[in-house]
Amino acid sequence: MNRLPDQTISHLQGILGRPNLQGTRYEYVRHIGIGGMSDVHLVYDTRLGREVAMKVLRSEIDSEATKERMLREARILAKLDHSNIVPVYDLGTLGEERVYYTMKFLEGKTLAEYTLENTELLDLLRVFIRVCNAVAHAHSKGVLHRDIKPENIMLLPYGEVMVVDWGIAKAGVESSDEANQNDFKFSSSSFTTSSTTIESTLLGTPSYCAPEIWKSVPDSGTFPPKYTISSDIYSIGATLYYTLTGRPPLVANSFGELQRLSAGHSPPPPRTLQQEIPRPIEAICLKALSASTQHRYTNAEHIARDLQLYLDGYEISAYKENMLERLVRWTKRNAFIVLLLFVYVLVRILLFFFSLL
């Protein structure tokens, strides 16, 4: 049986979405998923003897611009050496110069899925601290994520937490490039209330975008927008809001309605949706969601610190307690001492009572 020419095989694999791995160290296993400009496949690394995820630029959108964007994405990820950020292993090109990179293969649940099954507040806060630490690390390296949301946070079977999908991340803590007229060709028909995404493409997911980004859409007079650490902080706050309440801060049935809500920027306080949310945690969330960038946390590490202080039983920076709340918090933190005092007082009372007999 005659063998098809390599060029024909490469062309057919491109049509089917399967990468041409001839001459590489990788063996194809299966297709995992599809993104905005790439396919993700599970492949076997024959050199290291392990399965890895391979992200490959889709052939139908292969151009010099998309190649450069894919290369930049891989190099940005490679700069980030953190236990809660997926590591990059390899970068190269396949047949017909299709850019690819390999990374750790993740199997688990998104934060959106996890919160449907696990509503234990302390567990959710511990997860969220790791998210904040990962984003803080990226910011310390001059990298903005620009699309932080529950679907981009993965929880793995053995307790690992990963911030994923750095496809629109940008090296440079203030960024307005790539945000041009083509990035803001919104399609209201592609609006969905479940994921609140808009095709083709606001940089970021609308329900998790900061109000200053919304103000910079075309015809607003301040186009293009400037993405900053503060806009990532807002997205962290919006993700925390979802984690606490099961919905994003602003919910709408159309893109236009969401844009109007963002202009007014009045998300209902989390406790109006879930009364059992502690007031300090609500305060952390609302500070990160502040309409004014000056009133938000200055960095993600400060959010993590406030969350950890709450877990450890200390007062946080975002919430001023009254005397009763202070007393209750002290009692919880010093439960053993309180128990000893109670036993001591009880014994003294009993001794006094028996001395009268």
Give, rounded to a whole angstrom, the gap between the first and last alpha carbons of the chain: 109
Residue type at 305? R
User: Residue 45 forms beta bridges with which residues?
Assistant: 26, 50
Long-range residue pairs from 85-93, CB within 8 A, at least 24 positions apart, any chain: 85/134, 85/137, 85/138, 85/162, 85/163, 85/166, 86/162, 86/164, 89/45, 89/52, 90/52, 92/24
Rounded Cα distance, 166 and 91, in Å? 15
Q: Which CATH architecture has domain 109-312?
A: Orthogonal Bundle (1.10)
Q: Which residues are catalytic?
A: 147
pLDDT at 172: 66
**Where are the domain boundaries for CATH 3.30.200.20 in the chain?**
23-103
**Spatial contact of 210 and 297, defined as CB atoms under 8 Å apart:** no
pLDDT at 255: 74
Could you count the other beta carbons within 10 Å of the beta carbon of residue 130? Answer: 20
pLDDT at 216: 62
**Where are the domain boundaries for CATH 1.10.510.10 in the chain?**
109-312
Rounded Cα distance, 351 and 348, in Å? 5
pLDDT at 122: 93
pLDDT at 87: 94
What SS3 string covers the chain? CCCCCHHHHHHHHHHHCCCCCCCCCEEEEEEEEECCCEEEEEEEECCCCEEEEEEEECHHHCCHHHHHHHHHHHHHHHHCCCCCECCEEEEEECHHHCEEEEECCCCCEEHHHHHHHCCCHHHHHHHHHHHHHHHHHHHHCCEECCCCCHHHEEECCCCCEEECCCCCCEECCCECCCCCHHHHCCCHHHCCCCCCCCCCCCCCCHHHCCHHHHCCCCCCCCCCCCECHHHHHHHHHHHHHHHHHCCCCCCCCCHHHHHHHHHHCCCCCHHHHCCCCCHHHHHHHHHHCCCCHHHCCCCHHHHHHHHHHHHHCCCCCCCCCCHHHHHHHHHHHCHHHHHHHHHHHHHHHHHHHHHCC
pLDDT at 227: 86
Residue appearing with tokens 């706050």: 237
Q: Which CATH architecture has domain 23-103?
A: 2-Layer Sandwich (3.30)
pLDDT at 225: 67
User: Residue 82 forms beta bridges with which residues?
Assistant: none
pLDDT at 248: 93
Residues of the chain falling short of pLDDT 70: 1-17, 172-204, 216-225, 264-265, 357
CA-wise closest residue to 128 among 145, 149, 147, 142:
149
**Spatial contact of 52 and 105, defined as CB atoms under 8 Å apart:** yes
CA atoms 299, 220, 256, 147: torsion sign = negative
pLDDT at 322: 77
pLDDT at 40: 94
Model pTM greater than 0.85?
no
Half-sphere exposure of 191 (CA within 13 A, CB side): 17
Of all residues in the chain, the percent with pLDDT exceeding 70 is: 82
Residue type at 313? G
